[in-house]
């Protein structure tokens, strides 16, 4: 497997008419009103990588829509409004949508989670059915394998006085680790979604297309009810990279072919109800702790 750097500090590497320059100091992230966390941590400011099949994999947790408690940038407002139109109805207006960031959600005494966003439709517009109040989570992508190879590749490019965008965008032996992205999110997905539906609201899970496809493979045969026009409690919304040829930036938009509105509890039951009985699992040859062998039938 291989990937290439698709976005360096907010700049598209492929087809960008501008010559990308290395970032040598800690600067503000192009997608949020605060410093780039990667630069602050001494890492390369790589926002997104691209797979050979053309699918983007976001590698910065702040790229899709940063959730830090800061003043939202126009980019963030536009993306949040796109999500609002998709879940509430295209006729909603910005003045209808209210949000809170990094909202504390108590779970048990001494333990709590943070919702990326709490979103409410407080206006008169939108679908008459469905949820008005939702927990909105952002999980655009995650890590890759062989991050050291990608770092060395970018480091070489940064130090090369003859650097080009084409060199930066060369493929490197690495690949997205989609399973890790989902494993890190599972517990929060289960807890926050459960709290949302118990409180009379819903959960919206915004993900990159590779993560959407990973989840869809696990539930596609369950014939989940499409509740978009009804009382859904879970929406999974896939985002795809769509850019104009010659553009200097990557654009992530909702992929209408990768959205799911359904019942939260049914979805979770489908995820955990996998596999089938394995008759030979507890039969066969066993080693006893005292050194003897036991054949169980």
- Position 132 scores a pLDDT of 94
Residue % of the chain over a pLDDT of 90: 79
Lowest mean pLDDT among 130-134, 173-177, 276-280: 276-280
The DSSP bridge partners found for residue 7 are: 12, 48
- Position 253 scores a pLDDT of 96
- Mean of pLDDT over the chain: 93
Per residue in 69-79, pLDDT tens? 888 999 999 99
Distance separating alpha carbons of residues 63 and 61, to the nearest angstrom: 6
- Position 297 scores a pLDDT of 58
Confidence of residue 290 (pLDDT cuts 50, 70, 90): very high
Distance separating alpha carbons of residues 287 and 231, to the nearest angstrom: 54
Confidence of residue 246 (pLDDT cuts 50, 70, 90): confident
- Position 130 scores a pLDDT of 82
Structure tokens at 211: 């993560």
Distance separating alpha carbons of residues 174 and 63, to the nearest angstrom: 20
- Higher-confidence residue of 106 and 13: namely 13
Query: What is the average per-residue pLDDT within 28-36?
Result: 94
**Domain extents in the chain:** 3-272
- Position 69 scores a pLDDT of 82
Per residue in 135-161, pLDDT tens? 999 999 999 999 999 999 999 999 999
Strand extents, DSSP E, 41-190? 46-50, 56-58, 97-108, 111-121, 133-139, 171-172
Per residue in 85-113, pLDDT tens? 999 999 999 999 999 999 898 887 777 88
Which of 295, 293, 223 is CA-nearest to residue 263? 223
- Nearest 5°: the CA angle 277, 270, 210 is 110
Distance separating alpha carbons of residues 188 and 293, to the nearest angstrom: 43
- Position 200 scores a pLDDT of 93
**How distant is the alpha carbon of residue 246 from its chain centre?**
26
Distance separating alpha carbons of residues 207 and 224, to the nearest angstrom: 19
Distance separating alpha carbons of residues 252 and 231, to the nearest angstrom: 28
Are residues 39 and 3 in contact, defined by beta-carbon separation less than 8 angstroms?
no
């Amino acid at each position: 497997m291989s990937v290439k750097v698709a976005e360096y500090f907010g700049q598209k590497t492929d087809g960008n008419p501008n010559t990308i320059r290395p970032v040598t100091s800690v600067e503000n992230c192009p997608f949020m009103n605060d410093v780039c966390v990667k630069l602050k941590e001494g890492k390369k400011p790589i926002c997104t990588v691209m797979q050979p099949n053309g699918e983007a994999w976001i590698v910065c947790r702040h790229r899709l829509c940063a959730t830090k408690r800061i003043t939202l940038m126009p980019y963030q407002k536009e993306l949040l409004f796109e999500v609002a139109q998709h879940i509430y109805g295209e006729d909603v207006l910005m003045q209808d949508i209210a949000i809170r960031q990094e909202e504390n959600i108590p779970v048990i005494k001494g333990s709590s989670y943070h919702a990326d966003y709490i979103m409410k439709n407080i206006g008169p517009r939108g679908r008459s059915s469905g949820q008005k109040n939702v927990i909105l989570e952002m999980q655009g992508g995650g890590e890759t394998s062989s991050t050291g190879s990608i770092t060395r590749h970018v480091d070489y490019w940064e130090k090369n006085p003859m650097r080009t965008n084409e060199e930066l965008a060369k493929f490197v032996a690495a690949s997205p680790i989609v399973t890790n992205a989902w494993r890190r999110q599972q517990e929060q997905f289960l807890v926050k979604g459960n709290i949302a539906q118990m409180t009379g609201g819903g959960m919206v899970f915004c993900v990159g297309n590779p993560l959407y496809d990973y989840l869809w493979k696990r539930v596609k045969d369950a014939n989940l009810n499409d509740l978009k026009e009804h009382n859904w409690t879970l929406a999974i919304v896939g985002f795809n990279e769509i850019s104009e040829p010659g553009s200097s930036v990557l654009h992530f938009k909702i992929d209408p072919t990768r959205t799911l509105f359904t019942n939260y509890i049914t979805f979770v039951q489908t995820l955990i109800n996998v596999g089938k009985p394995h008759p030979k699992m507890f039969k066969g040859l066993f080693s006893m702790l005292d050194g003897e062998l036991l054949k169980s039938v």
